[in-house]
Each structure stands twice: as C-alpha cells, then as structure tokens.
Amino acid sequence: AQSVAQPEDQVNVAEGNPLTVKCTYSVSGNPYLFWYVQYPNRGLQFLLKYITGDNLVKGSYGFEAEFNKSQTSFHLKKPSALVSDSALYFCAVRVSFWNTDKLIFGTGTRLQVFP
C-alpha cells in the first residue's frame, strides 16, 4: 500500500538548536514528496518538494529536507529553529496510477520551539 508515516506526534526543540521532523514513505516507483506547514486554524502552506536530482532540497523559511532512497525517508530539517517555526508539519507523497492522482498525507507532527 502507498503511504507516508510521521512517527513523532510532537517534536520539542530549543530556539537556536537544529530541528528534524521525520517522515518515511512507501510507494511504488519514483516518489514525489512534499512538506507542508499549518498554523492554527489556517490552510496548509507549501514548504518544499522532492522530484528528482539532489537529495538535499531547500525550501521556504530556511527549511530543507533530505531524501534518502535506501531508508525511504524524507526528513525535514532546519539548522537553527525559531519560536515562530512552532506549527503543525505534514509530509505528503503523490500517488499516480490508473485514473488516480492524489496526495497522501501523514498524520502530522507538531513542532514546539521553546525560547
């Protein structure tokens, strides 16, 4: 089955420290992977995507993600966390086959950055 997993419900980090939000995936074929961020009572905002090429993808607000094919992972990272980074983060994978074309989302990871 095609799926994406975010193993941590919450990640806590001190401001200024590096952060990692984990994501693993299971798809057939080459994956198209995405990270989104959601602030309270708002829609999701696109952060970055992996299509092909460099395993380190840079995105908005200083975030980056590392694609690892052997570990089927796509972890979100930031070298120095800000309090304003506190939000809900979703990993997603695109699934395309037959007449189906959709994004499957993980359950989300809440990031708390403490001052």
Partner 1 sequence: DGGITQSPKYLFRKEGQNVTLSCEQNLNHDAMYWYRQDPGQGLRLIYYSQIVNDFQKGDIAEGYSVSREKKESFPLTVTSAQKNPTAFYLCASSTGSLPGELFFGEGSRLTVL
Closest by CA to 31, choosing from 77, 57, 69, is 69
CB of 16 to partner 1, least distance (A): 29
Tokens of 20: 């990692």
Q: Which is nearer to partner 1, 19 or 92 (CB)?
A: 92
Residues that bind partner 1 (CB under 8 A): 9, 32, 34, 36, 41-46, 49, 51, 90, 92, 94, 96, 99-108
Backbone angles phi, psi at 61, to 5 degrees: 60, 25
CB of 17 to partner 1, least distance (A): 26
Q: Are strands 33-38 and 87-97 parallel, antiparallel or unpaired?
A: antiparallel
CB of 36 to partner 1, least distance (A): 8
